[in-house]
Amino acid sequence: MISEKMEGALNNQISLEGYASFLYLAMASWCDNEGLEGCAEFMHRQSEEEREHMLKIFHYISDVDGFALTPQIKQPPHKFDSVQKMFKTVYAHEQKVTKSINDLLDIANKENDYSTLNFLQWYVEEQREEEALMRTILDRIKLIGDGPQSLYYIDKEVRSINKAAQAAEAAEAGNQG
């Protein structure tokens, strides 16, 4: 049985993860419109990953005899000044998600909710990886600079990072199966 406070906080997290999925989907569309196919592929994958995070919490709430709510998600921005600013927005959002996960851990800890503490450990590791990935992308964008060919190289670099992440996920899935 889950407390009402924890159930509410987890339902808020569902909304945050759902918003991230829609935000990244809007970013994928913007990238596609700008001819940044590698960035669009990356953002599509990120959107799907956030949807999976949302559903994982949704199912967990049901598993602990709570009631998961389908989130109402506000329209995310769909235009960005630059690919650099777009990835800064992604990084800031991931930091917001990390803070929210940490707040959930605080609630679970105060309530001695060991099941939820255990469940949330996966998110702690996932957020560490997400923030590190976004810092890597921002570092590479900074190195590439903003010269005339920079968008080509940024897109190429993000495509490479995306392929490496997909390969790592496939290897991990193979090790689990």
Q: Residue 57 has what pLDDT?
A: 98
Q: What does the pLDDT look like over 124-148, one tens digit per residue?
A: 999 999 999 999 999 999 999 887 7
Region 63-69 average pLDDT? 96
How many Å apart are CA 147 and CA 86, to the nearest integer? Answer: 17
As a whole number, the mean pLDDT across the chain is: 94
Listed in sequence order, the residues at least 6 apart from 159 whose beta carbon sits closer than 8 Å to its beta carbon are 37, 38, 39, 41, 42
CATH superfamily, region 4-168: Ferritin, core subunit, four-helix bundle (1.20.1260.10)
pLDDT single digits (tens) 16-31 = 999 999 999 999 999 9
What local confidence, expressed as pLDDT, does residue 148 receive? 72
Structure tokens at 92: 């800031």
**Residue 76 CB neighbour total at 10 angstroms:** 16
Mean pLDDT along residues 100-108: 98
Structure tokens at 122: 């996966």
Residue 88's pLDDT band, with cuts at 50, 70 and 90, is very high
Phi-psi region of 145 (alpha: psi -120 to 50; beta: other; left: phi over 0): left
Eight-class DSSP state of 65: T
**Own/partner pairs for 114-123, CB < 8 Å, 24+ apart?**
115/64, 116/2, 116/6, 116/10, 116/60, 116/64, 119/60, 122/56, 123/53
Domain boundaries in the chain? 4-168
Please tell me the predicted confidence (pLDDT) of residue 62. Answer: 96
